[in-house]
Amino acid sequence: MNEINYKNIVGEKIRALRKGAGLSQEVLAQRCGIFRTYLSRIESGAANPSLVVLVTLANALDVEPHALLMLEAGSK
């Protein structure tokens, strides 16, 4: 059975949304009140962000929080 790595999925989505918005890690981290190194770890799938951090990131990226958890077609 294939396990889904949600930390990687969330990290990849955050990175893509951040880049699409033209934001650096530093700027997004400042908007969210977190360290840039922590954001880097989230984006790489190394950190497991709390629900509060996920909602804060989603708000800063102007998306609904559930959008960070959604699988792309064919990702299973």
57 contacts 63 by C-beta, under 8 angstroms: no
| Predicted TM-score of the model (pTM) | 0.89
Pairwise CA distance, residues 3 & 18, whole Å: 26
Question: Under CATH, to which class is 6-68 assigned?
Answer: mainly alpha
Pairwise CA distance, residues 76 & 71, whole Å: 8
State residue 1's pLDDT score.
Answer: 45
Structure tokens at 70: 């959604």
Residue 28 CB partners (closer than 8 Å, separation 6+)? 18, 39, 57, 60, 61
Chunked mean pLDDT (size 10), the chain, 76 residues: 81 97 98 98 96 97 94 61
Task: Tell me the domain boundaries of the chain.
Answer: 6-68
State residue 74's pLDDT score.
Answer: 52
State residue 71's pLDDT score.
Answer: 81
State residue 2's pLDDT score.
Answer: 62
State residue 75's pLDDT score.
Answer: 52
